[in-house]
Amino acid sequence: MADTAVEDSTINNPDNLTKLKTASTISEKVLAEVTGWLADGENIISLCERGDKLLEEEIAKVYKGKKIQKGSGSPVTISPSSHVTPFTPLTSDAEDSSTTIKAGEVVKVQLGAQIDGFGSIIGSTVVVPKEKGQKADITGREADLLVATHYANELLLRLLLPPGLLASGTEEEKKKAAAVKAPSHSKISSLIEKVAKAYDVNVVQHTTSWQFERNEIEGKKKIILSPVDGAKGEGNPEVGEFWGIELGLSLGSGKVKDLDKRSTLLRRTATTYGLKRPSSRQVLSEIVKKFGTFPFSIRQLEDERAAKVGVVESIRAGVLREYKPAAEADGSPVSRLFTTIAVTKNGITRLAAPPALDLESVKSDKKIEDEEILKILEQPLSKSTGAKSKNKKKKKKPAKKTEDDDDDDSDDE
């Protein structure tokens, strides 16, 4: 009898990479729509609910008629200025459900889609305009924050590129480049902190990037910026992996405090436990059916009030993980970017990425002067495929490189 072929559940399988790219396209499209709705006085929960509905509609358009699990990879969350963690209020919580955004506020938008367990999450930082569709006037310290976040994110992505992957020259030269050790996590943190200091901001404590796997957004490897309480990361990105890259900066101390609020963002873990309460089992069954192991908001469950009670036993037993609401300790504005990337033989591809900051209109009077950092920022993320960019922008100096040309990332399989 012939051996049964083992299914390749990684993105080395072209079908899986296609699913991940499809999820990423949806994530980017919905993010663009949701950020376009932001305006002075808009209610956060209303925006989140509209965004979730749009996410569902877009996901329903792909892989029709196929027995493939698909759905939300992360609910739409809109986090107020000082919030560090994604904010997803409940209709039944009067105070939080009445929360609105205001013009000039720095808010974070995050969401994601998943196809067949391949999740793609995206997050952006937006300064709220007075009216929908307008661009907010971003100056002063908010400009410092956004420009710093842009360059820190560009630097972080380049520091995660496997050594020698883009090397050219003789085989001996390529081997020599590949033999170089990847930067240590402490080195990565140190360089990111230098960018933050150049703009007089701070890295948000415990900012974590994770290796993604099928049905898992917190894989075996992780990189922690500004770790606390002895926390340590593990491993670096390698070819064939896809990751969720997080970058968070603060106009304040960067220190984080838990908020006295209910944990409304949860996800199922690998822990199994015989739940005692029928209501707990019923809610967990709904969670498994709708979301699998991906994050969800309690407001997305059929009976929100019953769900608030029904998740308690699962949280205590470790069957559900809660993402505790947290904010900048001194109440200062916080930025956050989240990018889903794939690491291929051609380099790093941004599958779902927040829009590049418009450095022509958002300007800071500060700049990066560290030569090591400037040199890294000049480096490409991937090998050129020879395709010319449709929207080549004239590069300016801040940092000698303002924005990465990601056009050569498009054919990285």
Q: In this structure, are 186 and 55 located in the same domain?
A: yes
Q: In this structure, are 188 and 240 located in the same domain?
A: yes
**For residue 87, which of 59, 36, 123 has the smallest C-alpha distance?**
123
CA distance 215 to 283: 20
- Structure tokens belonging to residue 18: 């296609």
Phi-psi region of 133 (alpha: psi -120 to 50; beta: other; left: phi over 0): left
Residue 305 maps to a domain = yes
Spell out the alpha helix ranges (H) of 91-248.
94-97, 140-159, 171-178, 185-198
Q: In this structure, are 256 and 282 located in the same domain?
A: no
CA distance 173 to 139: 46
Count the domains in the chain. Answer: 2
DSSP 8-71: --STTSHHHHHHHHHHHHHHHHHHHHHHHH--TT-BHHHHHHHHHHHHHHHHHTSSTTS---EE
CA distance 406 to 404: 6
Residue 413 maps to a domain = no
pLDDT of 397 reads 56
**For residue 399, which of 200, 154, 163, 93 has the smallest C-alpha distance?**
154
Q: Judge whether 346 and 21 are in contact, CB under 8 Å.
A: no
Residue 313 maps to a domain = yes
Report the amino acid identity of residue 308: K
Collapse the DSSP code of 331 into the 3-class scheme (helix H, G, I; strand E, B; otherwise coil) and give the result: coil
pLDDT of 170 reads 85
Residue 295 maps to a domain = yes
Spell out the alpha helix ranges (H) of 217-322.
278-291, 304-310, 312-316
Structural domain range at position 298: 263-324
Q: In this structure, are 196 and 293 located in the same domain?
A: no
CA distance 77 to 99: 13
CA distance 295 to 123: 14
Report the amino acid identity of residue 228: V
Q: In this structure, are 180 and 292 located in the same domain?
A: no
What DSSP state is assigned to residue 381?
S
Q: In this structure, are 144 and 97 located in the same domain?
A: yes
pTM for the model: 0.91
Residue 397 maps to a domain = no
Residue 2 maps to a domain = no
Q: In this structure, are 339 and 298 located in the same domain?
A: no
Longest dimension (CA), the chain: 71
Residue 393 maps to a domain = no
Q: Judge whether 113 and 59 are in contact, CB under 8 Å.
A: yes
Q: In this structure, are 72 and 38 located in the same domain?
A: yes
pLDDT of 396 reads 53
Report the amino acid identity of residue 258: D
Q: In this structure, are 217 and 342 located in the same domain?
A: yes
Q: Which residue reads 């509609």 in tokens?
A: 57
Residue 51 maps to a domain = yes
pLDDT of 385 reads 64
Q: In this structure, are 168 and 272 located in the same domain?
A: no
Of 324, 348, 369, the one marking the end of a domain is 324
C-alpha triplet 48, 51, 55: angle, nearest 5°: 135
β-pairing, 222-225 vs 207-212, is antiparallel
**Taking the CA of residue 336 as centre, how many other CA atoms within 13 Å lie in the half-sphere pointing to its CB?**
33
**Taking the CA of residue 172 as centre, how many other CA atoms within 13 Å lie in the half-sphere pointing to its CB?**
0
Catalogue the long-range contacts made by 66-71 (C-beta closer than 8 Å, 24 or more residues apart). 68/19, 68/115, 68/116, 69/114, 69/115, 69/116, 69/117, 69/292, 70/113, 70/114, 70/115, 70/116, 71/113, 71/114, 71/290, 71/291, 71/292, 71/294
The 10 Å Cβ neighbour count of residue 180 is 11
Q: In this structure, are 188 and 280 located in the same domain?
A: no
Tell me which residues of the chain have a pLDDT lower than 50.
1, 388-395, 400-413
Q: In this structure, are 199 and 302 located in the same domain?
A: no
